[in-house]
Amino acid sequence: MDKLMSDLKSQIIAQLNLQDTKPEDIGDDQPLFVEGLGLDSIDALELIVLLQQHYKIKLSNADDGPKVFHSVRTMAEYITAHQAQHA
């Protein structure tokens, strides 16, 4: 899980072009949107693309978005659960 979260932080920084942000600046449980990293709706689309590109996961239910993309940890948990389901 720690390795996955570390990878995710680097991928988020690259995908969203978060200049001046380092992986260690993003907390595992820090909210990604609004008060946390300050991401917005366009970033949400970029995160959906990130999941598809790197983990072959298509977010089938849009209502899951806020829960899945709440933090790096929730994203990692979603990926792990999805991979276990499809193993």
Sites of contact with other proteins (CB under 8 A): 15-20, 38, 42, 45-46, 49, 52-53
3-state percent helix, strand, coil for the chain, nearest multiple of 5: 60, 0, 35
Measured from the CB of residue 2, what is the shortest distance to other proteins in angstroms? 27
Measured from the CB of residue 44, what is the shortest distance to other proteins in angstroms? 9
For other proteins, the closer of residues 4 and 18 by Cβ is 18
Measured from the CB of residue 81, what is the shortest distance to other proteins in angstroms? 22
**Are the beta carbons of 33 and 74 closer than 8 angstroms?**
no
Three-state DSSP class for 39? Answer: strand
